[in-house]
Amino acid sequence: MVANYQVKEDETVVQTGGPQTYRFLIIIPGKTTGSWKLGDGYLSLSVTDMNNMSIWQSSTSEQSQGAALQVQISSYGSVGGYVDGTFSGTAVNISDSSKLVVTDGEFRASRITDI
């Protein structure tokens, strides 16, 4: 799991990789600790089921379909350190509008070079 700050967009991207069944990508504004919910700047969660390539999204554009998201960053280390946080919410499938509820999600991502 890695996190990087994207300078031009002024946002941090946290993402998984590797062989797990579900991959997720979280985008938060800036590069700091704090708490955000949908509507607090650009915030997004994307979850992909690698078995069937189903994708669920939770961002402002899906709020009217029941999407919700809260992200808290408890520590934001320098490059080479860690970004730690928690998240929860409801994501909407982009193909069939089914919902995926995420509770008690947490991560510890290695912070890689800013881009």
pLDDT digits (tens, 9 = 90+) for 24-82: 999 999 999 999 999 887 899 999 999 999 999 999 999 999 999 999 999 999 999 99
Q: Say yes or no to pLDDT of 20 above 90.
A: no
Model pLDDT, residue 39:
81
Q: How many residues does the chain have?
A: 115
Beta strands at 99-111 and 2-6: parallel, antiparallel or unpaired: parallel
The pLDDT confidence band at residue 112, using thresholds 50, 70 and 90, is: very high
Mean pLDDT for the stretch of residues 76-92: 97
In this prediction the pTM is: 0.92
CA-nearest of 85, 98, 89 to 69 is: 89
Q: Say yes or no to pLDDT of 19 above 90.
A: no
Residue 12 near residue 27 (C-beta atoms within 8 A): yes
Determine how many CB atoms are found less than 10 A away from the CB of residue 102.
Answer: 19
Q: Say yes or no to pLDDT of 93 above 90.
A: yes
Partnered with residue 92 across adjacent β-strands are 57, 99
